[in-house]
Structure 1
Amino acid sequence: MKSVNSYSDDFKRKVASHYLGSDLSMAATAKLYGLKTPSSVQQWVKRFCPDQALPNDGTTKEPAPTVLPDSPEGMLARIRELESDLASEKLKNLAANKMIDIAERDLKINIRKKSGAKQSKK
């Protein structure tokens, strides 16, 4: 049987405001206040501070917003950067495909999915 801890609303507000005002993670805040689960902190923040945005706790990764350059020089620099990234990704793709080819040849295992309705099993 689970034991249920009930906390006062004042305590919950205190934990939620401490989490939002500090650099601690949810897990560290929960540990600091003797809570069993960090999700309690998240629930209390949503309940008692709904207008506050939750800090990124490392669980989700949001892409950084792309700033478009205004000047032609900035645009050329951005194009060069993107072309460099594309060349790097092409090399990574080539290396991955080569590794799959070698594994299929040397280890005699089928890695790539066969096309069509009839896929033979070996």
Structure 2
Amino acid sequence: MKIVKHYSDDFKREVVQHYLSSDDSMQKTADKFKLAVPASVGQWVSKFGGEFRTAVMNKSPEKPKTETPDTHEGMAKRIKELEEALERERLMNLATNKMIDIAERDLNISIRKKSGAKQSKK
């Protein structure tokens, strides 16, 4: 008789977040969270992975103001806005690189352009 474990959506999201934010493979992630079937991680990434992409990548940055603030408070607010925009861009870059790394590793395809003169044509 087959025993089926049911996990909460919060637990699944935690697993997906760990998988996407680390360099662990599906197997390592499954081992860390004591999952019997590593393929569950892939299924959960398909189901919940978009939530993390949406939260990080689809958040539209605020348009920078062209006028320079004159007061100390205005400058501090502008610095905070710029720091938040920079952090969003860093997270977007991290998510994009992680997605490329996972695709290259799991799907065994080459995505990044190789540098140098000797590039094979396909």
TM norm structure 2: 0.49
Higher relative contact order (CA 8 A, sep 6+): 2
Hey, which of these two has a bigger chunk of helix by percent?
2
TM-score normalized by the length of structure 1: 0.49
Q: Which has the larger radius of gyration?
A: 1
